[in-house]
Amino acid sequence: MEFELWWLLGIPVFFGLGWVAARVDIRQLLSESRTLPRGYYKGLNFLLNDQADKAVDAFIEIVRLDPESADMHFALGHLFRRRGETERAIRVHQNLLARPDLPQEQKEHAQYELGMDYLKAGLLDRAEETFNTLLNGQYSAQARRALLEIFQREKEWPRAIESAIGLQESGAGSRQKEIAQFYCELAQDALVHMHPDQALALLDKSLQADRVNVRATLLTGDAQLAQGDLEGALLTWRRVEQISVPHVALVAQRLMDGYTKVGRPQEGVNLLKSYLEQASSIDLVEVVYKAVLELDGVDAAKQLVSNELRRTPTLLGLDKFLEARLMDAPANVMPELSMVKNLVHSYTQKLARYQCSHCGFKARQFYWQCPGCSKWETYPPRRTEELNVMN
């Protein structure tokens, strides 16, 4: 390709055009900035300095001086909602919706914000009614997500399933794990009311949504037990190992009780010991320890917890080890050993908790849905100290 001299002449022209375009953009930016009220910059500065109270005052003044400013109404309403002043946020967005000249796009925005105000305030019926008006507009996905949250709060699981399916079909991502949990909630309710056949039908739908759902597998075994099929329940509970070895701690007591009822307790102990070799857990140790103590005596139980403490050194394990040692300790060391046991036990109460991997909420019992953030399946089936040791 030959070089042409006239190309050099084009370079200054291109630079000149770029300079003119930049000057035009700067002038437009300066012109737009002069139209913004001074209070806007004051409010923005307060927000940047985490002075929310003063920012609200500044934005209120802007709205008072320029009531036609929809964007400022949105900013003010959002600030009120974040501060927990939901009544004031509701009034701001209702005032916006009362304006006859509000464009359709901003009207939908105001309706969505009003729905979020109601949701924050716990006015679930009003929130549901508001979000239902947005299902066919630009806020359809956001409205469906909010409705799903409402149905979960109200424990309306059939409507939650319907809403989750609608979200999936709208292209908002997979909701299969949540759908499976909703069916589990319905199945658990059926078991409480002694309807195992109905529970099994619901759990089958749960497993269709999520084949590796541990909770559905556990509850299926419970339903089989309620029908009198103990052997079938044992086989079902054992499938938990194939899905998630750490979760066998949640089914360990069921298995041990089941094998004891069918007259094969040693088979149950051997099975749980094999689980311990794959995934050590203080909850699993607790179940095996009690079974070994009853079947094989104190020495075997002490040896079990001693081996586990060496393999996974934790204070929770030490607490269990001291408990075993106290069972046949000499009288002359019993008081001192008991004092150490009590001290260790009082401290381990803070460590013997499950922790949500999403929000960090800690709880003494295992939850399938976090009480803190309402996310599903965010609790690892191990106590916090065990997780720290593993990491």
**Residues annotated in the binding site, as ranges?**
356, 359, 370, 373
Q: What is the DSSP letter of 367?
A: -
What are the distances in angstroms from CA 338 to CA 168, 192, 330? Answer: 57, 41, 12
Structural contact between residues 153 and 122, judged by C-beta atoms closer than 8 angstroms: no
Within its chain, how far is the Cα of 71 from the centroid?
A: 32
Distance CA 79, CA 116 (A): 13
What angle, rounded to 10 degrees, do the helices at 52-65 and 38-48 form? 160
Contacts of 132 (CB under 8 A, 6+ apart): 143, 147
Strand partners, 355: 362
Which of 351, 348, 342, 299 is CA-nearest to residue 323? 342
Binding residues for Fe cation: 356, 359, 370, 373
CB-CB neighbours of 374 under 10 Å: 13
Amino acid at 196: P
The type of residue at 163 is S
Distance in angstroms (rounded) separating the CA atoms of residues 260 and 272? 13
In terms of C-beta density within 10 A (0-12 exposed, 13-18 middle, 19 or more buried), how is residue 354 classed? buried
Helix (H, G, I), strand (E, B) or coil at 369: strand
Distance between CA atoms of 389 and 101, rounded to whole angstroms? 62
Q: Is-contact 86 98, C-beta < 8 A?
A: no
